[in-house]
Chains A and B, each alone.
Chain A
Amino acid sequence: MAITDLEEFSHLTDADIDNLAHELDAIRRDVEDDLGERDARYIHRAIAAQRILEISGRLLLAFGSRRPAWWAGTLTLALAKIVENMEIGHNVMHGQWDWMNDPEIHSSTWEWDMAGVSKHWRITHNVAHHKYTNVLGMDDDVGYGVLRVTRDEQWKPRNVLNVPLNLLLAFGFEWGIALQHLELRKILKPQTRAATVIRLRELLTKSARQVGKDYVAFPALTALSPRAGFTSTLKADAVANVIRNLWTNAVIFCGHFPDGAEKFAATATDLATESRGQWYLRQMLGSANIDAGPVLAFLTGNLSYQIEHHLYPDLPSRRLAEISVRVRALCEKYDLPYTSGPLPVQYAKTWRTIAKLSLPDRFLRATADDAPETRSERMFDVLPPAARRRGLKSAIAAVRRRV
């Protein structure tokens, strides 16, 4: 079940892992030393472009409820929201632009255009998800508490609803994220009630403003226009939000749930004293990229470079493409897999896993030691001892050849 021993699974010695850490640190230093005016100009332009896009979408919706104008406005607004959430919000809140020392583009103050409170998200995401990536029981993003995304988790009857639940989560993804940090169940316990109530109040304030903007203020404003009405804008805003939800959900699921993105038992490393190399290694093995050109990469907020993003969560997104060349080379050198695939394929794989895992284990062929979505060091037991002194990628290939 999942990886319980990182060294054994990765086919690397402690010394190898230390060397890997030095090489990955060197990449970080090179990029940090090179950050400057061009990077600053990039994020300023991205923010300006996003704001212009958003205003254009709102204007299109105000000046026509006829079908082409409505669709043009809705899609423009959806695109603006996607860019705001992905390339700007997510990345700014990671601290990718903190080096500019610009209080207006800073992780500590940024608030994004979605239901949840950015302050809450920074804790569940930047701390829990990025420190304990794909560690069962530690990273809430593994299934978001509603889905069974790995057979390491025991099947429960409600998992029969895996597919409809996933559909629901995808359509209302911003609300799923908003509720994640709330940990509503803690409201029942007296010790944690006060903190939960505060978070609940913060969330209600933020989401009321968001709902007010998209479903009251802008529809009311366009109702003043002779060529559009309250309902046409209401619908447009709802559709734009849903398009954004579906897109962000797809991109994020492609990061950690496709085949080859490993899961870890809490014993895989000693998490309290984990070395930098072990942490790096977990990030590389637990993440999957999307094959993307510059446009698709921008629309995913450069999360098409999920592996690189997880290695360097606070390095500016526009640098991940160049970093990926060097990370790929390191994977070759250390014989490590580098999981990547086209978006439709990767997304289909996440759906396949989620659909399969709605069934109890007795209907599943693979075990948690060698399944598409999770593996453990025990998968190599089938190899003769002589064949074991090779790298992880070759060893996986050797196991595949035997099956």
Chain B
Amino acid sequence: MTAILRALTTPLLPGDYLRLLNPLWSSRELRGRVVAVQPETRDSATLVIKPGRRFRFDFVPGQYVGIGVRVDGRWRWRSYSLTCPPLSKDRTITVTVKAMPEGFLSGHLVSGLRPGTVVRLAAPQGDFVMTDPAPPSVLFLTAGSGITPVMSMLRTMARRDQIDGGDIVHVHSAPTAADVLFAGELERLAREHAGYRLIVRATRSQGRLDLARLDEVVPDWRQRQTWACGPAAMLRDAEALWARNGVADRLHREQFAAPRTAGSQLGGTVTFAASGRSVAADGATTLLEAGESAGVVMPFGCRIGICHTCMVDLVDGRARDLRSGVEYEAGNSVQTCVSAPSGDCVVDI
């Protein structure tokens, strides 16, 4: 049947016509529809998304999902930790987004997204995950929006009845009590489950948690499996502390990539992911020239920026179009013959 339909729709796919009826029926890409935007704190919101049919709901708690949103006609991609447990009954997923001061897209997601909007989705991934069954004693060390992957873990453990029999300590930092994401739900968990102890630290009044004095807060932290997610500095400190104490194998870390500001750097190291090579290039060397100098077989055509034969996906970092100065972020494909690295970047070739 599919073969017959494809014979009738070639060179397109049946899904290309079906999506005229429902955009989620595209067979090329995973899509989802935003069904609700629920405000959390003053600068964050939870997006409830109903994915298309092919989405696999059996992700592992702690994983993140790529979300593409159309803003001003352009699709922009970001990754967000899933905050829901896997295999939810209503077949929706949730992510919780905090508007970053310089994060153009996160601000749009928190306050500019209307229910009904269609977004693109990338399959859940990531290895910052909770095991099943959960370890007997656990420490969650989170700060700010770093609580999001842990929320999925907690909700999953609650659903699996793994909290009461266990021993979970959760140390969470936020500027003020009003900034704590999921505050109500966390308090209820702490109230209802003896196995879950919540310690909230309001850093604006109490100051940052000094990990060197972690013993005072959680004396037995060395014996616990720890999941830590928060700012880079906190994770660096944690990594050093756990290593010093010889328990580095008990620490699981997740760091959110901070969106770098545009126009910050000229040139950088270009890594060609599929070829496994990398080369340093200045701000005037095109990605095409850089690749060729490193012995990578690069696609090319006109070499003057008109034919789009040389386009390659930018997987990480930024690249600048030398003609217009426009910077492209990861998740775009770029014309390598007229683009130079803007800081270190990774291309998919």
Residues of chain A touching chain B, judged by Cβ–Cβ distance below 8 Å, are 25, 28-29, 32, 35-41, 48, 51-52, 55, 94-95, 98-104, 106-108, 111-113, 122-123, 126-127, 130-131, 206, 209-210, 212-213, 216-218, 221, 276, 279, 313-314
Contact = CB atoms under 8 A, between A and B. Distances in A.
B28 A131 contact: no
A106 B307 CA distance: 13
B324 interface: yes
24 contacts: A32-B326, A40-B70, A52-B20, A98-B308, A99-B74, A100-B73, A101-B74, A102-B75, A104-B29, A108-B311, A111-B12, A123-B309, A126-B307, A126-B309, A130-B302, A130-B306, A131-B301, A131-B304, A131-B307, A209-B11, A213-B7, A213-B8, A217-B8, A218-B8
A51 B75 CA distance: 23
B72 interface: yes
Interface string B11-29: 1100011001000001011
B10 interface: yes
A279 B304 contact: yes
Contact of A48 (B20, B74, B307, B335): B20
B302 A131 contact: yes
Given A126-B302, A216-B7, 7 more contacts: A95-B307, A101-B332, A108-B311, A108-B333, A122-B301, A122-B309, A313-B306
Q: How large is the interface on B (under 10, 10 to 19, 20 to 34, 35 or more residues)?
A: 20 to 34
Contacts of A101: 74-76, 331-333
A71 B333 CA distance: 44
Contacts of B335: 95
A127 B302 contact: yes
Nearest to B28: A104
Given A122-B309, A123-B301, A279-B304, A213 B10 contact: yes
Nearest to A95: B308
B323 interface: yes
Contacts of B331: 101
Contacts of B9: 213
A130 B332 CA distance: 24
A208 to B, nearest CB: 10
B120 to A, nearest CB: 8
A217 B9 CA distance: 10
Q: Is the interface of A mostly helix, strand, loop or mixed?
A: helix
A217 B4 contact: yes
A108 B70 CA distance: 20
Looking at B17, B20, B306, B332, the one whose CB has the most chain A CB atoms below 10 A away is B306
A293 B299 CA distance: 39
A227 B72 CA distance: 47
Nearest to A103: B29
A51 B14 CA distance: 11
Contacts of A29: 324
Interface in B269-310: 301-302, 304, 306-309
A93 to B, nearest CB: 8
A29 B326 CA distance: 10
A247 B26 CA distance: 32
A122 B301 CA distance: 9
B307 A112 contact: no
A126 B308 contact: yes
Given A101-B74, A101-B76, A107 B302 contact: no
Contacts of B308: 94-95, 98, 107-108, 122, 126, 314
A-B complex: 10 closest residue pairs judged by Cβ atoms: A40-B73, A95-B308, A126-B307, A111-B11, A127-B301, A101-B75, A36-B72, A131-B302, A217-B7, A209-B10
Given A32-B324, A55-B17, A107-B308, A37 B302 contact: no
Contacts of B324: 28-29, 32
Instruction: Say whether chain B's binding surface is mostly helix, strand, loop, or mixed.
Output: loop
Contacts of A218: 8
Contacts of A100: 70, 73-75
B13 to A, nearest CB: 10
Contact of B301 (A38, A104, A112, A126): A126
A101 B16 CA distance: 18
A131 B331 CA distance: 28
Nearest to A218: B8
B121 to A, nearest CB: 13
Counting chain B CB atoms within 10 Å of each CB, which of A95, A111, A314 scores highest? A95
Contacts of B74: 40, 99-101
Given A130-B306, A130-B307, A51 B11 contact: no
Contacts of A55: 17
Nearest to A132: B302
Interface string B192-235: 00000000000000000000000000000000000000000000
B301 A35 contact: no
A102 B70 CA distance: 9
A32 B11 CA distance: 30
A279 B306 CA distance: 11
Interface in B322-348: 323-324, 326, 331-333, 335
A311 to B, nearest CB: 10
The residue among A101, A104, A113 with the most chain B CB atoms within 10 A of its own CB is A101
Given A37-B72, A209-B11, A212-B7, A25 B323 contact: yes
A236 to B, nearest CB: 15
A113 B301 contact: no
A249 B179 CA distance: 65
A289 to B, nearest CB: 19
A130 B73 CA distance: 27
Contacts of A94: 308
A100 B189 CA distance: 44
Nearest to A127: B301
A112 B11 contact: yes
A39 B73 contact: yes
Nearest to A122: B309
A209 to B, nearest CB: 4
B307 to A, nearest CB: 4
A107 B308 CA distance: 7
B70, B73, B301 interface centre (most CB from chain A within 10 Å): B73
A139 B304 CA distance: 16
A122 B11 contact: no
Nearest to B329: A101
A213 B323 CA distance: 43
Contacts of A41: 73
Contacts of B8: 213, 217-218, 221
A210 B324 CA distance: 40
A210 B75 CA distance: 31
Contacts of A276: 304
A126 B73 contact: no
